[in-house]
Amino acid sequence: MTIALAAALVVGVLLYTLFIRAQDVPPPEPVSPLAHLEDRKAVIYDNLRDLQFEYRVGKLSDEDYQRTKISLQKELAVVLGEMEETAKRLGLATKKSAPASKASQAAPVPNTCPHCGAKFPQSMKFCGECGKAMA
């Protein structure tokens, strides 16, 4: 009798979990597919600012600063790429919609920021130092 009750309880919990809960849980897809990417971008920019701050107050060595900065910039490049792809997939124009021909008329040194002059080991869409769009 006890086993039957326990079994019934288990079945009840399983049914609850599988059927009732699944309906109650909102769909995982965010309202805007770009929203979570925007969030990630904001977090990376925050991290870059924090990193610069810690470097300026002397908490970080040059080596640590450069290494962390580069890894954050790579992460940022990935997020920005994903945002662009998502926007394209949705048929949306990005806020700063650049003409397709822009690459051909780009500055000769694409990995140097035209705003603050910071240099990066790879081509970036946005400057990791000042956050402005790079050519």
Nearest-10 Cα torsion for 123, 125, 130, 132 = 140
* Identified binder of Zn ion from the candidate list 113, 124, 126, 135, rule CB under 5 A: 113
Question: Interface with Zn ion by CB under 5 A: which range of 10-18, 40-48, 92-100, 113-121?
Answer: 113-121
* Identified binder of Zn ion from the candidate list 76, 80, 127, 135, rule CB under 5 A: 127
Number of residues that bind Zn ion (CB under 5 A): 7
Quickly count: other Cβ atoms within 10 Å of residue 69's Cβ. Answer: 20
* 133: nearest Cα among 118, 114, 108: 114
- Closest CB to Zn ion among residues 33, 131: 131
Distance CA 99, CA 104 (A): 10
- The answer to whether residue 69 forms part of the interface with Zn ion (CB under 5 A) is no
Q: Computed from CA positions of residues 39, 44, 49, 50, in that sequence, does the dihedral angle turn out positive or negative?
A: positive
List Cα–Cα distances, 19 to 11, 13, 15, in angstroms. 12, 10, 6
- The answer to whether residue 79 forms part of the interface with Zn ion (CB under 5 A) is no
- Closest CB to Zn ion among residues 10, 130: 130
User: What is the nearest approach in angstroms of Zn ion to the Cβ of residue 64?
Assistant: 21
Q: Site residues (CB under 5 A) for Zn ion? A: 113, 115-116, 118, 127, 129-130
